[in-house]
Amino acid sequence: MRYFFNIADGQRVRDDIGQELPDHEAAQRYAVIVATEILQDDPQFIWEGHDVRVQVTDDRGLLLFEVLTFSNFAPAGEAAASGRSPKG
């Protein structure tokens, strides 16, 4: 089956070629690899309030699944980053 790996990381990049893979599990693994490669290029990107999405579709454009990567500071992390003492 042909899977298409569309990327949304502040801009949308549509995969018009796709990748022939044996099954959904292989496509899921490949989607994680695509997301990882994007993050390796600019790891700070998600800490600046952006997310990275790899949306996997079939040849009809039907969304099959999605890998979503984002960051979120916990209150203690926000305090530490600003030099404040975390509230207990």
Say what percent of the chain tops pLDDT 90: 58
Q: What is the mean pLDDT of residues 2-15?
A: 91
Q: What is the mean pLDDT of residues 50-65?
A: 95
Domain ranges of the chain: 2-69
pLDDT at 81 over 90: no
- Token readout for 48 is 């600046």
d(CA 24, CA 6): 15
What is the reported pTM? 0.79
Residue 12, pLDDT score? 86
- Token readout for 51 is 């997310």
Residue 62 backbone phi and psi in degrees, to 5: -75, 125
- Tens of pLDDT along 12-25? 899 999 999 999 99
- Tens of pLDDT along 26-37? 999 999 999 999
Residue 88, pLDDT score? 53
